[in-house]
Structure 1
């Protein structure tokens, strides 16, 4: 009887913002697909977050806006799981406010975490990938970065910036066998969307042709695909996982 080899068998992966929310779902999906995963975050996960998995998930404390913290996290990760083959830049924050009311600090905080953070991790993790002539990077953007959202100018600007970062680095690193892609999630069931006013949530749901919100694990499935050899001829692509929203 033939046994199917997991898609990410032998892959060592890092997921930033991996201790909770969509990041934790990505970690679980990649682990279930055979990867050894390190979840980078500023706070550790709840004890039950990664229960039931066949392999342990390593937590590594990291402030992705700080190059020294990221360098230390990479060193710790390599000692725990080995050289990093796949980087998922998922970490993100929001500071929602209309532009006229938004403080400079609220703008800077979101751009620093969501966009600068992805640049920092990419810059520090890729030298090893370049040396090995292989690797994958997936940047978690947002459909907000495509169409904009009232009250989220900082967030949408950062997520649009991730698309530009994705396409530029895909061209830069292609000759080293490194593929860089992005995912733009749409309306996903998370604590953030659960906190929306019911009328606002319903309005957003009506924009989704599939008539349901997505699940965090469906974003994880996209990451597994883009980190695996099933996408070996795909780079510089922005994959929308949004149930057809805003097509």
Structure 2
């Protein structure tokens, strides 16, 4: 029974070109099927991956889309023999011998094989298929959780940037407020100086008016004295003339 599953899996994952078949010594090929010389098909999600003669894109696809299967590669890496260790430049990854039951576990996530297993094994295969679907659902939830965490990380980073911008704007606002306060204080000081100067000017004007008034009073008194002097001189002259005429009359 296991040998029939192995033959079915082998037929499903058989490469389409002999050139790729020569390179399919890496364990990563157990998750892919060659479509042509430049494309391979992921047997886990049935998506096409570009192929350039090496397994870099396939490993990247497993690491990003199927992390649990990617982590299982380390457990399934074959032990290299002494000859491959001596030839470092031409060494290739060896294919680890797998049991038919291990192949069943590996390929049970392929939709076509899952249907084949469910039909072939009946209730037991259906249970295994249900378990695989649960694992796939958990994988999808894990991927969704990872995306949510990434979104949360970006949101936190955005909040940090906004907080930094808010702090800078608040610092600028405080600086402008300080400048405004300084300008208001300077304006108040200049206004007070202007008021003091106006008061001093008014005081000087008042003193000037008082001096002018005193000058006018002095001039008035002087004119009055001059008038009295003239009257006195006139009286003296008239009195002296009267005495002289009386003397001659005698």
**TM-score of the superposed pair, with normalisation by structure 1:** 0.24
Q: Which has the higher helix share?
A: 2
Higher alpha-carbon Rg? 2
Greater percentage in strand:
1
